[in-house]
């Protein structure tokens, strides 16, 4: 039978709510009117695309809107206040104090494999049938369902990375040079190159005779959401065809070549590419094969060579790393980059100390904290011997001043001092 729960009825016209039911000797948070625990719902929408999970559950009234408070309940571990837990959740094994697989076995009367060949006995009262002990040994502690809920909640609120090949809104605002890969050997590397390009605002990918053929699904998977780069990539039969419409091309290499050509750092190369692109020139950056890079004959057809400053004893870079290095410099010089993502709920931030919107503490507020702290320390004989008090006070003030504390942090510090002196909660009330 359900018993009183601290969980209020959730929002929505569908009036979805959580009740706490007794099941198998445990208090379980359940979606009211169904046989599904909150953990069942979290697992379903975490194990597959969110909409597919909702469709599989097929619970009337449960949609993306009404799902959010259920996820928030689990993500914040509000079940702890209700003294409840879901089957398969690690909170349950933690509550029971089970620290090892042996502890888990001991709490059962018996554990039997499905084929009946293995039987373990314990001191508990219930019987558990499992597919195999090997599988059970990996899953006995349960899943961190609250962590899964946080992941799904983030997807629900902020959206997910695009995996269908559609270019995201606002992407590729800064037209750049083509990235040209000569005979790339691994489709996975092509996918990671696409991801690096998407990270830093480059959109045009050209492939010269990729070894594993094209198109290639492995490349789309490795792109991890940047599939719009992979799907738009152009295949070329030879090196010259890939460069044909370009008026300026730079070639990357880690080996010195006996060629009379400008040698540029990534910063210098990008500056040159930017200047030429701004004047309407088509430009390209060429990257060689994973095994041995570009042939000297291929580099000879480029206008300049790009070499990154590396450890002289280990100069070779992974293909995707090489592209990432150049692409990062492209974005940096564009001035269009953002420190982390920007969404409906997340705004751009600047480099430097992030005070989370709290104003810096005034000198008067900091002085108030100093007075409070020093008075309590003096009361408890901290400044001993007395003649050292001025130096000790000076050091304390210098230490806390270096914090450049916010108003909220000063209030927290004063609260800490008060709690240490007077106690807090039940201790303060003498209970």
pLDDT at residue 156, rounded to an integer: 78
Percentage above 70 pLDDT, the chain: 88
Residues 129 and 88 in one domain: no
Residues 189 and 156 in one domain: no
pLDDT at residue 320, rounded to an integer: 95
222 pLDDT exceeds 50?
yes
Tokens of 363: 């000198």
Residues 1 and 150 in one domain: yes
7 pLDDT exceeds 70?
no
Q: Which residues, including other chains, have CB under 8 Å from residue 103's CB and lie 6 or more apart?
A: 97
- The owner of tokens 């320390």 is 377
CA 181 remoteness from chain centre: 29
Mind giving me the DSSP string for 49-80?
-HHHHHHHH--TT-SHHHHHHHHHHHHTTGGG
Are 141 and 105 spatial neighbours (Cβ–Cβ below 8 Å)?
Answer: no
pLDDT at residue 326, rounded to an integer: 96
- Give residue 185's pLDDT band: very low, low, confident or very high (50, 70, 90): very high
365-419: pLDDT as tens digits: 999 999 999 999 999 999 999 899 999 999 999 999 998 898 889 999 999 999 9
Residue where a domain stops, chosen among 319, 334, 349: 334
Are 332 and 176 spatial neighbours (Cβ–Cβ below 8 Å)?
Answer: no
Residues 18 and 106 in one domain: no
Are 253 and 307 spatial neighbours (Cβ–Cβ below 8 Å)?
Answer: yes
Whole domain around residue 118: which residue ranges?
A: 99-140
Q: Are strands 205-208 and 178-182 parallel, antiparallel or unpaired?
A: parallel
- State the Cα–Cα distance between residues 31 and 18, nearest whole angstrom: 5
Percentage above 90 pLDDT, the chain: 48
- State the Cα–Cα distance between residues 301 and 257, nearest whole angstrom: 13
Residues 185 and 232 in one domain: yes
In a domain, 278, yes or no: yes
pLDDT at residue 134, rounded to an integer: 78
In a domain, 414, yes or no: yes
245 pLDDT exceeds 80?
yes
Residue 37: helix, strand or coil by DSSP?
strand
Residues 17 and 80 in one domain: yes
Residues 413, 414, 417: CA angle, nearest 5 degrees: 90
Backbone angles phi, psi at 26, to 5 degrees: -125, 145
Are 267 and 329 spatial neighbours (Cβ–Cβ below 8 Å)?
Answer: yes
Residues 122 and 210 in one domain: no
In a domain, 172, yes or no: no
In a domain, 358, yes or no: no
Question: Which residue pairs, CB below 8 angstroms and at least 24 apart, start in 239-243?
Answer: 239/182, 239/208, 239/298, 239/301, 240/301, 241/208, 242/180, 242/182, 242/206, 242/207, 242/208, 242/284, 243/180, 243/284, 243/286, 243/301
pLDDT at residue 161, rounded to an integer: 44
Q: Are strands 26-31 and 18-23 parallel, antiparallel or unpaired?
A: antiparallel
Residues 55 and 79 in one domain: yes
Q: Which of 237, 247, 243 shows the shortest CA–CA distance to 298?
A: 243
In a domain, 353, yes or no: no
Tokens of 321: 């790393």
Residues 79 and 103 in one domain: no
- Give residue 106's pLDDT band: very low, low, confident or very high (50, 70, 90): confident
Are 323 and 284 spatial neighbours (Cβ–Cβ below 8 Å)?
Answer: no
CA 162 remoteness from chain centre: 16
- Give residue 425's pLDDT band: very low, low, confident or very high (50, 70, 90): low
Q: Which residues, including other chains, have CB under 8 Å from residue 361's CB and lie 6 or more apart?
A: 405, 406, 407, 409, 410
In a domain, 238, yes or no: yes
Residues 252 and 386 in one domain: no
pLDDT at residue 91, rounded to an integer: 86
How many residues are recorded in the chain?
Answer: 431
The answer, as to whether pTM is greater than 0.75, is: no
271-293: pLDDT as tens digits: 999 999 999 899 999 999 999 99
33-84: pLDDT as tens digits: 899 999 999 999 988 888 888 998 999 999 988 998 999 899 888 998 888 9
Residues 43 and 146 in one domain: yes
Question: Tell me, what CATH number does 231's domain have?
Answer: 3.40.1280.10
98 pLDDT exceeds 70?
yes
431 pLDDT exceeds 50?
no
Instruction: Specify the range with the lowest mean pLDDT, choosing from 99-113, 261-275, 367-381.
Output: 99-113
1 pLDDT exceeds 50?
no
Are 337 and 349 spatial neighbours (Cβ–Cβ below 8 Å)?
Answer: no
Give the count of domains, the chain: 4
In a domain, 339, yes or no: no
In a domain, 322, yes or no: yes
- State the Cα–Cα distance between residues 225 and 210, nearest whole angstrom: 21
- State the Cα–Cα distance between residues 61 and 278, nearest whole angstrom: 54
Mean pLDDT of the chain, nearest integer = 85
Are 285 and 180 spatial neighbours (Cβ–Cβ below 8 Å)?
Answer: yes
426 pLDDT exceeds 50?
no
Residues 194 and 298 in one domain: yes
């Amino acid at each position: 039978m359900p018993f009183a729960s601290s969980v209020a009825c959730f929002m929505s016209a569908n009036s979805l709510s959580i009740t706490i039911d007794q099941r198998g000797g445990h208090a379980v948070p359940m979606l009211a009117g169904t046989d599904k625990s909150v953990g069942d719902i979290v697992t379903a929408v975490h194990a597959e695309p969110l909409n597919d999970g909702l469709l599989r559950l097929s619970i009337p009234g449960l949609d993306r809107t009404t799902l959010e408070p259920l996820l928030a309940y689990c993500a914040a571990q509000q079940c702890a206040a209700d003294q409840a837990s879901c089957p398969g959740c690690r909170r349950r094994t933690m509550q029971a104090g089970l620290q090892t697989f042996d502890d888990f076995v001991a709490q059962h009367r018996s554990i039997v494999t499905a084929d009946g060949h293995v039987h373990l006995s314990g001191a508990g009262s219930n019987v558990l049938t499992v597919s195999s002990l090997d599988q059970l040994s990996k899953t006995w502690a349960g899943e961190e369902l609250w962590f899964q809920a946080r992941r799904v909640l983030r997807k629900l609120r902020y959206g997910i990375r695009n995996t269908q090949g559609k270019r995201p809104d606002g992407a590729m605002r800064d037209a750049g040079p083509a990235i040209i890969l000569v005979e790339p050997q691994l489709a996975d590397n092509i996918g990671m190159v696409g991801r690096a390009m998407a990270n830093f605002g480059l959109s045009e990918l050209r492939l010269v005779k990729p070894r594993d053929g094209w198109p290639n699904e492995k490349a789309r998977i490795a792109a991890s959401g940047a599939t719009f780069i992979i799907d738009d990539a152009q295949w070329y039969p030879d090196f010259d065809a890939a460069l044909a419409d370009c008026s300026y091309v730079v070639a990357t290499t880690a080996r010195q070549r006996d060629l009379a050509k400008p040698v540029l750092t990534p910063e210098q190369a990008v500056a040159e590419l930017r200047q030429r692109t701004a004047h309407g020139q088509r430009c390209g950056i060429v990257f060689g094969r994973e095994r041995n890079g570009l042939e000297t004959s291929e580099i000879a057809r480029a206008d300049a060579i790009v070499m990154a400053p590396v450890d002289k004893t280990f100069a070779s870079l992974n293909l995707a790393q090489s592209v990432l290095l150049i692409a990062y410099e492209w974005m940096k010089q564009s001035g269009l980059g953002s420190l982390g993502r920007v969404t409906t709920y997340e705004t751009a931030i600047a480099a430097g100390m992030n005070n989370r919107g709290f104003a810096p503490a005034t000198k008067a507020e900091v002085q108030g904290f100093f007075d409070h702290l020093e008075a309590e320390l003096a009361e408890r004989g901290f400044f001993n011997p007395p003649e050292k008090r001025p130096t000790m006070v000076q050091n304390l003030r210098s230490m806390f001043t270096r914090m450049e504390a916010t108003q909220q942090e000063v209030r927290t510090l004063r609260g800490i001092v008060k709690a240490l002196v007077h106690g807090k909660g039940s201790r303060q009330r003498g209970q």
